[in-house]
Amino acid sequence: MIKFSDKQLKIPKLMRPVYLATVGMSKFDRAFPETRTEELCIQAFTAAADFVNMTPSELKKYIHTCYYGHFADHFGDQLLGEAVIHDRLGLDPLGNIGVKTGGATGGSAMWEAVKTVASGYSDCALALGWERMDEVPTDEGNHLISAAADKDWETPLGHIYTGYYAVMAQRYWKIFGKEEDSFRDTMAEIAVKNRGYARMNPHAQGPLKITIEDVKNSPIVAYPLRALDCCLMSVGSACGIVCDEKTAYEITDKPLRIYIAAGSHTLRVADRRNMTIPLLPNETTETYKDLGTRFPGSDRYPGFTGFLAARMAAYYTYRMAGVVDPIEDLDVIELHDAFTISDIQSYEDLGLRPYGEGRDYIESGDGYLINPHTKKQGKLPSNLSGGLIGCMHAVGATGLMQIAEIGYHIWNRWDEIHEPQEKWDAFGREKPDDWTSLQVKNAKRGLAISHAGVGSHVTTTILMDPNHLLKED
Amino acid sequence: MPKTEKEKGFVDIINGRYKPRGVFHTIEKNQPIFDKDTGKLAGVTNPRDMTYIHSYGGEAPFFEGLGKGRLMATRCDNDKCETRGSMYQPFRIYCPDCLRKNTIIDMTDIAKTTAKIHSYIITHRSGAFNTLPKPIKFINVEFEGVVTILMSVLAVGEPEINKKVIPIFNTKAPTYTITDLRFVVEGTSKSELPEGFTF
């Protein structure tokens, strides 16, 4: 049984408000055979400068410290890749450091950047991430990814990370999904939704207009997961720049407040021990008193069906930012949909629905931009970027792409990033005839989750319009 | 093409130091990568053929035990630890709570009588360097009195949650890796076991 002390449950406090001033991202794709990584990073940084009407040189003058998110050195056979990028961005001799927390790398880089500004060490910090997974054959890539599991206890078992992850999906499918066809359809609906949203995103690598049947008929990867239930493997870069209040308003007249916290849990799912569920502000002990009766076999927490790291990151961040009910208090969300089923698991970790009832977030229509039942805006639209399933999963950049996408909605500038024909042309992508704006109307607050592997690291980032905070500093 | 004995690398420990012998890497020329559409150079291949040397440290008794048909685990016996008595499989050298060294115990009999499937997945895919036959039936195994859930593979039978399983061991030609441990469903006969494995 894991028990936390009061000191460990202390709600993190930023010593001064921190603001997100600008963001940027590159094109994302499965491979860039004729583009170096630094070119993609410069593309992302330049986009961030463009966004605040500055040249890259002007924007760089504000930056004091740099955090680089790049997870898989071994793919590129290049250690200290961060130093390469830092030099190519022309940011020497500023201090910089690399951050590596698997799929949460982008979020973790931002976590560090926010803390360095909050502490007063820097007034402006860059968080920039990238990943390069196209420069080895796919089976060797699978092996290299599986090296993120335990090298003695897991990796030799097939050298395939999906296998270590999918056992959790299986357990969730049996216990909470009850192996129902309707649950399988809900999983598929997530893939349809996210790939459909990706169609409106010129940066996105995996746009598809598909049906639930297409997902259910796609090749099995590891039952119940099929190819269209799974995220993409990507190359690309994304960044964000955070500042203290004074600096933020020098860069832009509309910076966003940023709150961020992190949680962690075992690298091996094997090592998960039982504990009581840490409650979010919208839950009580009553919420779970009959969980085991309603879902036989759910008596272990987090077991294989929850992500404790995500729950803890939300536990801290909601209280930092004053979020009580995420469905009511937030307007848009980007989730780590590595697989359709893990997307559902994360609804519960984040308290969008109680444990066991995650599917209702999709089935109710709350997770859509336009609720298919009411034809009105969904209560909390998710993954309008396309997510990891439809947009990209360039590991070190993913969390930063998601933060950027949430920012675009709150800035009310989503169309400006996703609509211009010139961008579709420059990326060599065909803009669909039925292109539609996915701008969330009146978005004031949003959340992005950044999640590693089987849940070893998770960050939750909350962005808010500074005129619509939920809590006084 | 499998390497011959002359092409392989071996390591001994002599006077407390690693002493490699044999071949640990082969050198192969880079090859250019051209864009077939434009005829222009885009990059090069960087061939690497390396063998890593790795210490099991305090976990060595676990991996050595598998080749002898024993499943070793650990238990915290620290009177002052609030989770005293917790048994760990995977084998943990130190208690995660008090950080005192755990006691090594033999849990082979517990595994033979109480192992059951907590979750599973079947996959037809694998990564490079995989040595397991496909499809791979991953299983997570619960044991009575053990606070954690071991990941392994099912070598014989079909997985189901809560199904009883029995450990088998690669005792004839151990690789000294986790693949020396597998499970089979209850009722599996000796003749059905993979080559080299025994109960």
Domain assignment present for B51: no
- Distance from C-alpha of A143 to C-alpha of A237, rounded to nearest angstrom: 23
Regarding whether B115 and B70 lie in a shared domain, the answer is yes
Regarding whether B85 and B161 lie in a shared domain, the answer is yes
pLDDT at A324 over 90: yes
Q: B131 vs A156: CB contact, 8 Å cut-off?
A: yes
- Residue pair A21/A52 in contact by the 8 Å Cβ criterion: yes
pLDDT at A65: 98
Among the partner residues A159, A162, A169, nearest to B130 by beta-carbon distance: A159
pLDDT at A399 over 90: yes
- Distance from C-alpha of B56 to C-alpha of A377, rounded to nearest angstrom: 56
Regarding whether B155 and B105 lie in a shared domain, the answer is yes
pLDDT at A87 over 90: yes
Q: B121 vs A152: CB contact, 8 Å cut-off?
A: no
pLDDT at A397 over 90: yes
pLDDT at A245 over 90: yes
- If you search the block for the tokens 């969904």, which residue do you land on? A378
Cα angle value A255/A256/A258 (rounded, 5°): 135
pLDDT at A183: 95
Q: What are phi and psi of B183, to 5 degrees?
A: -130, 155
Q: A159 vs B63: CB contact, 8 Å cut-off?
A: no
**Chain A residues in contact with B178 (beta carbon < 8 A):** 152-154, 156-157
pLDDT in tens, B158-170: 999 999 999 999 9
Regarding whether B103 and B27 lie in a shared domain, the answer is no
Distances (CA, A) of B52 to A126, A147, B79: 36, 13, 40
Query: Which DSSP letter does residue A130 get?
Result: E
Distances (CA, A) of A73 to A36, A42, A100, A102, A395: 15, 19, 9, 11, 12
pLDDT at B2: 79
Burial of A176 (0-12, 13-18, 19+ CB in 10 A): buried
Domain assignment present for B142: yes
Q: Among candidates A369, A332, A372, which has minimal Cα distance to A352?
A: A332
Regarding whether B119 and B21 lie in a shared domain, the answer is no
Regarding whether B81 and B172 lie in a shared domain, the answer is yes
**Per-block mean pLDDT, blocks of 10 residues, chain B (199 long):** 88 93 92 96 92 94 98 98 96 94 98 97 92 96 97 97 98 98 98 97
Cα angle value B29/B30/B34 (rounded, 5°): 140
- Distance from C-alpha of A222 to C-alpha of A212, rounded to nearest angstrom: 18
pLDDT at A76: 86
Burial of A328 (0-12, 13-18, 19+ CB in 10 A): exposed
Q: B118 vs A274: CB contact, 8 Å cut-off?
A: no
Among the partner residues B48, B96, B138, nearest to A163 by beta-carbon distance: B138
Average pLDDT value for residue range A152-170: 92
Regarding whether B30 and B91 lie in a shared domain, the answer is no
Instruction: Note the ipTM here.
Output: 0.89
- Distance from C-alpha of A325 to C-alpha of A56, rounded to nearest angstrom: 39
In chain A, whose CA is at the least distance from the CA of B97? A2
Regarding whether B103 and B20 lie in a shared domain, the answer is no
Cβ neighbours of residue B146 closer than 8 Å, sequence gap 6 or more: B73, B87, B88, B89, B107, B110
- Restricting to B residues 68-127, those with a Cβ less than 8 Å away from any Cβ of A are 82-83, 86, 90, 92, 96, 118-127
Regarding whether B64 and B26 lie in a shared domain, the answer is no
pLDDT at A162: 86
Q: A152 vs B56: CB contact, 8 Å cut-off?
A: yes
Q: A158 vs B130: CB contact, 8 Å cut-off?
A: yes
In chain A, whose CA is at the least distance from the CA of B182? A157
pLDDT at A194: 98
CATH for B179:
2.40.50.140
pLDDT in tens, A190-205: 999 999 999 999 999 9
A367: three-class secondary structure by DSSP: coil
In chain A, whose CA is at the least distance from the CA of B95? A271
Q: A164 vs B138: CB contact, 8 Å cut-off?
A: yes
Cβ neighbours of residue A323 closer than 8 Å, sequence gap 6 or more: A281, A317, A329, A330, A462, A470
- Distance from C-alpha of A89 to C-alpha of A68, rounded to nearest angstrom: 12
Domain assignment present for B139: yes
**Chain B residues in contact with A229 (beta carbon < 8 A):** none
- If you search the block for the tokens 């192996």, which residue do you land on? A179
CA A448 from chain center: how many Å? 5
Domain assignment present for B49: no
**d(CA A16, nearest CA chain B) in Å:** 34
Regarding whether B136 and B97 lie in a shared domain, the answer is yes
**Chain A residues in contact with B131 (beta carbon < 8 A):** 156
Among the partner residues A162, A270, A297, nearest to B151 by beta-carbon distance: A270
Domain assignment present for B19: yes
- Restricting to B residues 8-67, those with a Cβ less than 8 Å away from any Cβ of A are 33, 35, 42-43, 46, 48, 54, 56, 59, 63
Proportion of chain A above pLDDT 70, given as a percent: 100
Average pLDDT value for residue range A117-128: 98
Domain assignment present for B52: no
pLDDT at A206 over 90: yes
pLDDT at A169 over 80: yes
**d(CA B69, nearest CA chain A) in Å:** 17
Among the partner residues A144, A162, A268, nearest to B151 by beta-carbon distance: A268
Domain assignment present for B182: yes
Domain assignment present for B138: yes
| Owning domain of residue B13 | 5-44
Strand runs (DSSP E) across B61-196, as ranges?
Answer: 72-75, 87-88, 103-106, 116-123, 136-142, 150-156, 165-170, 181-185
Number of domains in chain B: 2
Q: A33 vs B48: CB contact, 8 Å cut-off?
A: no
Tokens of A307: 């992500």
- Restricting to B residues 135-164, those with a Cβ less than 8 Å away from any Cβ of A are 136, 138-140, 147-153, 161
pLDDT at A2 over 90: no
Regarding whether B121 and B31 lie in a shared domain, the answer is no
Which among B84, B125, B141 is the top mutation candidate for probing chain A, defined by the most A β-carbons within 10 Å of its own β-carbon?
A: B125
**Chain B residues in contact with A34 (beta carbon < 8 A):** 35, 42
**d(CA A129, nearest CA chain B) in Å:** 23
CA B10 from chain center: how many Å? 20
pLDDT at A376: 97
Regarding whether B64 and B40 lie in a shared domain, the answer is no
